Amino acid sequence: MQRLILPLPGNEGFATRLAALCGGEPGSVETRRFPDGESYVRLHGDPQGRAVDIVCTLARPDPGFLGLVFAADAARDLGATEVNLVAPYLAYMRQDRRFQAGESVSSLSFARLVSSTFDRLLTVDPHLHRHPALSALYSIPTATLHAAPLLAGWIAANVPAPLIIGPDEESEQWAGSIAARIGAPHAVLRKIRRGDRQVDIDVPDLARWQDRTPVLVDDIASSGRTLVAAAEKLAGMDMKPPQCVVVHALFADDAWAQVSACFERVVSTDTVPHPSNRIELAPLLADALLRGLRDCSSDLKGTPR
Ligand SMILES: O=P(O)(O)OC[C@H]1O[C@H](OP(=O)(O)OP(=O)(O)O)[C@H](O)[C@@H]1O
């Protein structure tokens, strides 16, 4: 039986492409607020006897999260054989430990809530720096997809003679893998985060790459301070105008204006809808759904709830 693809509001475009690519039936989720502010949710599409994939990217997750839970519970009540969360961007991955006494470890709390609601989770490049895999946080099977090959393809097709640059030590994995795929050199900067919007960047000597176009690659652009600080340092080094490719285009508040002013071009994947989206990931996710969420990454294990 065809899968039922149910997008939460704002995810319709991605879900329509996904459904077309994996042969699923697109449905919809109607949401509104009752006068007292509580959430109303109604599914349009019949979950009875079929796998249901609820599509909801989790950028700015707080206002819609209860509606997402209600939609999943409704699909299960109405006979879905399994209820999966397709979250191209996965929220709450950065507060993954107690940095100061008394803080909540929101990564773990959020993972518990999602794991108690869904059977499986499919996502793209979760911000996993201190945990080896999503299975360290989530108790349901999780499938992780990686955008690096597509980022590499975009850079190879659009930027002649690139120098791939990761803004911090943790981005070595991205920068190294993208550079290796396209036969380009890469460099990694040093970042010290001093606060939510305070970042210091040190740049190594890049003089031997002055004939190349610097391309910053990162997983997330949120406040944009990492990218702005890196661009400011590069500007003082007589390099060619830099470009930037990110996976998850969160661009909080005025970040888009700040970042786009510092780079010749900024592009992103479509995990979060944004004017910078140029790299389409629906085919990657559709392929994962067609394979039954198998073989996406090593952390697809555990028992569906
Ligand atoms: O746009 P911004 O607000 O600068 O946020 C984006 C940056 O933050 C994340 O790393 P982070 O500095 O949080 O380091 P972490 O790997 O220790 O979480 C991410 O990998 C980006 O580099």
Predicted pLDDT at 173: 86
Atom of ligand 1 nearest to the CA of 229: 4
Atom of ligand 1 nearest to the CA of 197: 3
4-146+281-290: CATH number: 3.40.50.2020
Predicted pLDDT at 47: 98
Nearest 5 degrees, angle CA 143-CA 57-CA 118?
50
Would you please indicate which residues are annotated as catalytic (active-site) residues?
Answer: 191
pLDDT in tens, 41-87: 999 999 999 999 999 999 999 999 999 999 999 999 999 999 999 99
For residues 138 and 110, what is the distance between their CA atoms, to the nearest angstrom? Answer: 9
Angle between helices 172-182 and 148-158 (to 10 degrees): 50
Equal fold, 4-146+281-290 vs 148-279: yes
Residue 304 has pLDDT above 90, yes or no: no
Q: Which residue has the higher pLDDT, 79 or 297?
A: 79
The pairing of beta strand 51-55 with beta strand 186-188: unpaired
Predicted pLDDT at 299: 42
Predicted pLDDT at 271: 98
Best of 97, 193, 227, 251 for a ligand 1 pocket test (most atoms within 8 Å of beta carbon): 193
pLDDT in tens, 168-221: 998 998 899 999 999 999 999 999 999 999 999 999 999 999 999 999 999 999
The whole-model pTM stands at: 0.94
Q: Which CATH architecture has domain 148-279?
A: 3-Layer(aba) Sandwich (3.40)
Burial 92-120 (b: 16+ CB within 10 A, else e): bbeebeeeeeeeeeebbebbeebbebbbb
Predicted pLDDT at 21: 96
Best of 89, 94, 188 for a ligand 1 pocket test (most atoms within 8 Å of beta carbon): 94
Average pLDDT over residues 238-256: 97
Question: Is there a contact between 107 and 128 (Cβ–Cβ < 8 Å)?
Answer: no
- Ligand 1, pocket residues at CB < 6 Å: 94, 129, 167-168, 170, 193, 199, 218-226
Predicted pLDDT at 294: 60
User: Which amino acid is present at 187?
Assistant: A
pLDDT in tens, 165-174: 999 998 998 8
CB atoms within 10 A of CB 132: 9
Q: Where are the domains of the chain?
A: 4-146+281-290, 148-279
Confidence of residue 131 (pLDDT cuts 50, 70, 90): confident
Atom of ligand 1 nearest to the CA of 221: 1
Predicted pLDDT at 272: 98
